[in-house]
């Protein structure tokens, strides 16, 4: 068996095309959907990420305003800037690029963003809305994973999903979204005793730890769907995920590649959330 690829690049293009059409409709009404991206410090990876986000936005007609601040910016000044963006009716979405400098409290900063503009889906109000099925913004990475499952027509009802990774950014929201689709969910982490015993029972495995070759072929149930959220560099310096792709693709039924899988979908869902925020504000 050789797994079928879930092409994140192709699916992201479809989502961007939909965003482009809906953005044009808003602009025809005199409304310019706008995203404010706040970058504090000079983390190299963050600079690459925000560059992609700005480029993606411009392709769809969204405006992404990138605000750069020095690493020694005072937290109080960052909070004041966020409050100003909250009050600006021309700004529909706010994204504070993580990680922040160590002297800042990331949780406090994220909670300062208005839930109506929390297009990254990290605010506690967004998490609460997700849990009770109310309108909110789903975090972009797990939302992208769910869209990938939807794209292959996968019915999660009664299936067993294992999420490896307990973070509030991916692991826990991913588990809640799977549960909302009537799947049985087990959350593990890289140090779970006999992780393979858990994953070999799973119909769906989501790996989101940040560890090269965390999931190997002997840990996967034949025909399972494997979604690789990891973003790492291997010994040769090449981008790779948490999954031993070469081995696992010979066992799984479906698999996401790295690169070209979850990454493009994460960025696409940010655009979709920003457009939705603008549509809600427009009424």
Residues that are catalytic: 53, 97, 120
Residue 68: both structure tokens together: 């750069």
Burial class of residue 123 in the structure, from the number of CB atoms within 10 Å of its CB (0-12 exposed, 13-18 middle, 19+ buried): buried
158 closest CA partner among 185, 136, 135, 132: 185
Do residues 109 and 82 lie in contact, with contact meaning Cβ atoms separated by under 8 Å?
A: yes
| 223 vs 75: CA distance, rounded Å | 49
- Crossing angle (nearest 10°) for helices 44-60 and 8-28: 50
Six-digit token pair at 260? Answer: 């070209």
Locate the DSSP E strands across the chain.
Answer: 4-5, 34-40, 63-69, 93-96, 160-164, 184-188, 204-207, 225-228, 232-233, 239-240, 254-255
Determine how many CB atoms are found less than 10 A away from the CB of residue 235.
7
Query: Rounded to 5 degrees, what are φ and ψ at 196?
Result: -60, -35
Nearby residues of 51 by Cβ (< 8 Å), 6 or more positions away: none
What are the C-alpha distances in Å from 93 to residues 27, 102, 104, 223? 16, 25, 21, 39
- Residue 203 structure tokens: 């119909």
């Amino acid at each position: 068996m050789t797994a079928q690829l879930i092409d994140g690049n192709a699916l992201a293009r479809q989502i961007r095309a939909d965003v482009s059409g809906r953005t044009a409709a808003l602009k025809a009404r005199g409304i310019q959907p706008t995203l404010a991206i706040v970058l504090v410090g000079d983390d190299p990876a963050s600079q690459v990420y925000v560059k992609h986000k700005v480029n993606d936005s411009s392709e769809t007609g969204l405006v992404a305003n990138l605000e750069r601040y020095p690493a020694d910016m005072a937290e109080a000044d960052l909070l004041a800037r966020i409050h100003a963006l909250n009050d600006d009716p021309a700004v529909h979405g706010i994204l504070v690029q993580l990680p922040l400098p160590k002297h800042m409290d990331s949780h406090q900063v994220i909670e300062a963003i208005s839930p109506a503009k929390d297009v990254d889906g990290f605010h506690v109000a967004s998490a609460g809305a997700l849990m009770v099925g109310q309108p909110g913004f789903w975090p972009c990475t797990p939302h992208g994973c769910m869209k990938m499952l939807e794209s292959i027509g996968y019915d999660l009802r009664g299936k067993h999903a294992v999420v490896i990774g307990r973070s509030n950014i991916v692991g826990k929201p991913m588990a809640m979204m799977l549960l909302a689709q009537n799947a049985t969910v087990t959350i593990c982490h890289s140090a779970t005793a006999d992780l393979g015993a858990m994953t070999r029972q799973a119909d769906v495995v989501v790996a989101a730890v940040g560890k090269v070759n965390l999931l190997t072929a002997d840990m996967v149930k034949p025909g399972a769907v494997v979604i690789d959220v990891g973003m790492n560099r291997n010994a040769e310096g090449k981008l790779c995920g948490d999954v031993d792709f070469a081995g696992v693709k010979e066992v799984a039924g479906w698999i996401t590649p790295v690169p070209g899988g979850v990454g493009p979908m994460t960025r696409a869902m940010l655009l979709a959330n920003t457009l939705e925020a603008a549509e809600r504000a427009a009424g």
